[in-house]
Structure 1
Amino acid sequence: MHRSWLTAGLATLCLTVGVPNPANATSSVSVDMEATVLAAQIDPRRADSTLTPGAKTSVLAVEQALDAKDLLDPRWVDGYFGTETVAAYAAYQRSLGYTGLDANGLPGTASLTKLGQDRYTVTHTISVGTTVQRDGYVVNARTQAMLAEAQRLLGYQLVLEQGSYNPGGDPTSAGTHDGGGVVDISVTGMNATKRTAVARALRRVGFAAWVRDPSQGDWPWHIHAAAINDTDLSSQAQHQIGDYYLGLNGLAGRGPDDGPKVSIQTWEQYQRGQ
């Protein structure tokens, strides 16, 4: 009874003197995880400080929390999830004991929620799920679901020739397959029209996808696909997705996007639109 009286009295006092009520400290602040993770992929690849649309409020809340932990200099608390914020978030992940892909600077649900304790709530959470086998390769459940939906749109099966979580497995991939969300798809028996159709379907469901040909690198014809907003992405794959949003081809030379034009969206946005 005395505790209830004290809480009510404190709330009344807070309202009277015009300071925040600690009982409702997080009620008015929320962080959209989808928007935040997207900004963490795009912003570091920008040539300027343009903010990712719809992400500013969420990114600011995350940056303020990192600043409060002395992990991010106050001058970088600006709603722009650039390289300094990525590095600060990775340092926060390491402070929690995370290593490897779990400390890649992309917010995961657990770390983002813990960072926001008493500061904000998290909405639109992302889960990549457990790893599964596909065509003899490893992918996560989110990637598997995305591939299944692309197959449904196409009306035929897709066959992988490289999967995810394959560090050092293919030196020509420049580390993009070291984490989750990235696959290479076989185009054996496909003509140019069919290759383009596959890339278009993959883009529709939330992949950054390109048809790769031997003139671009030391590899055979294939389709390279990276799942946007997969929180297990390697840093190299994060950069590819950022470049995709900026109209580039995801290669080291950062040339113009040469894939089929579709409205770019994440897997979660695609699902909500169905």
Structure 2
Amino acid sequence: MTGRTRRWVLSRGAVVTAAAAGASSLLSTEALALPAVDMELVLLAAQVDPPKADTGLTPGASTHVIEVERALNAKGLLASGAVDGHFGTSTVSAYAAWQRSLGYSGLDANGIPGPTSLTRLGEGRFTVSRPVSTGSRTDTYGGRRVNTRTRNMLAAADGMLSWSLTLSQGSYTSSNPSSAGTHDGGGVVDISVTSLTTTQRWETVRALRTVGFAAWLRNPSQGDWPYHIHAAAVSDPDMAQAARNQTHDYYFGRNGLASHAADDTPSAYRVAFTWWEKYQRG
């Protein structure tokens, strides 16, 4: 073999090797090109969808929900007919079964995705973008128990006001029967307004809504309670079902009470629907 022929063989071999390496790289890239599931939008649908009388989809969320449902179906936890992009009661039940299969219980198996269970569900099927976490469940604000996410939200709202927020009830408590279970989980607080003027009360509602709370000024004519503000942190994964139903009401411009009447907040104190992570992004 001449030197020239040998160089040609080596060159040809190098081309083949490079082509094989390129094919391997392409396959590797394709394997990693999984769809991204936006956890913020999945949580939004998990609050807004279940109380609906139909299977209407939450704008922007359905394509992410359907990936979650496909994964639940693949694990035998959700019927194929329920893989529809609507995070309804069947999907909540299926997701709770998935959480229990991971060894979770209580609030950790409430059927609402947490970052760890959602990541585990997506293994080999999807990645998780914009994860939402409650942080510690034993933080406090003004001496009342809240989780880290709620504490940060309250601090941000407090910073918008020239008076301080005073909590009359925190989260993770069932001590007040008139709360109808809304405080059993995370993300929900009641705020005392006895020392505030009417304008200050409404401005407090607006500040809370601005950072991502579903918040309403409650009055004695609505129930067995004094004037106060009830606030539920939109998209808190620890939220009890009763509180999630209130977020559904808030999304559709209602009052979050059993009457589901129209929100009585004056228009000057309303803001666009949002949640904490979205508010932080500006």
TM-score, normalized by the shorter chain, greater than 0.5: yes
* CA distance, structure 2, for counterparts of residue 25 and residue 133 of structure 1: 44
State the secondary structure of the residue aligned to 1:201: helix
**Deviation of residue 44 (structure 1)?**
0.9
**Deviation of residue 22 (structure 1)?**
7.3
* CA distance, structure 2, for counterparts of residue 48 and residue 56 of structure 1: 14
**Deviation of residue 28 (structure 1)?**
3.6
* CA distance, structure 1, for counterparts of residue 96 and residue 22 of structure 2: 36
Matching residue of 2:148: 141
Unaligned stretches of 5+ in structure 1? 1-7, 16-20
* CA distance, structure 1, for counterparts of residue 250 and residue 202 of structure 2: 16
**2:150 counterpart letter in structure 1:** T
* CA distance, structure 2, for counterparts of residue 45 and residue 204 of structure 1: 24
* CA distance, structure 1, for counterparts of residue 100 and residue 240 of structure 2: 16
Deviations 1:87-136 (A, max 9, x none): 11111111111111101111000000000000000000011111212222
**2:143 counterpart letter in structure 1:** G
Work out which of the residue numbers 211, 219, 230 in structure 2 matches 1:205.
211
Matching residue of 2:261: 255
**Deviation of residue 155 (structure 1)?**
2.5
Structure 1 pair 51–138 and aligned structure 2 pair: CA distance change class (3 A): same
Deviations 1:66-87 (A, max 9, x none): 0001111100101111111111
Superposition pairs for residues 103-114 of structure 1, below 5 Å?
Answer: 103-114=109-120
Structure 1 pair 26–218 and aligned structure 2 pair: CA distance change class (3 A): farther
**Deviation of residue 9 (structure 1)?**
6.9
* CA distance, structure 2, for counterparts of residue 10 and residue 244 of structure 1: 55
**Deviation of residue 218 (structure 1)?**
1.1
Matching residue of 1:74: 80
Task: From the CA coordinates, give the structure whose radius of gyration is larger.
Answer: 2
How many residues align? The count is: 261
State the secondary structure of the residue aligned to 1:176: coil
* CA distance, structure 2, for counterparts of residue 61 and residue 129 of structure 1: 26
Asked if 1:223 is matched to 2:229, the reply is yes
Matching residue of 2:172: 165
Deviations 1:26-84 (A, max 9, x none): 51401000000110000112233221111111101000000001111100101111111
Superposition pairs for residues 30-179 of structure 1, below 5 Å?
Answer: 30-130=36-136, 131-166=138-173, 168-179=174-185
**Deviation of residue 156 (structure 1)?**
2.2
Matching residue of 2:13: none
Deviations 1:208-236 (A, max 9, x none): 00000111111111000000011110111
Matching residue of 1:214: 220
**Deviation of residue 190 (structure 1)?**
1.3
* CA distance, structure 2, for counterparts of residue 60 and residue 155 of structure 1: 45
Structure 1 pair 169–57 and aligned structure 2 pair: CA distance change class (3 A): same
Structure 1 pair 10–31 and aligned structure 2 pair: CA distance change class (3 A): farther
Deviations 1:7-40 (A, max 9, x none): x979959x8xxxxx57633514010000001100
Identity of aligned residues (%): 57
State the secondary structure of the residue aligned to 1:44: coil
What TM-score do you get using the length of structure 1 for normalisation? 0.90
Equivalent residues of 1:25, 1:119 under 8 A apart: no
Equivalent residues of 1:11, 1:23 under 8 A apart: no
* CA distance, structure 1, for counterparts of residue 21 and residue 93 of structure 2: 39
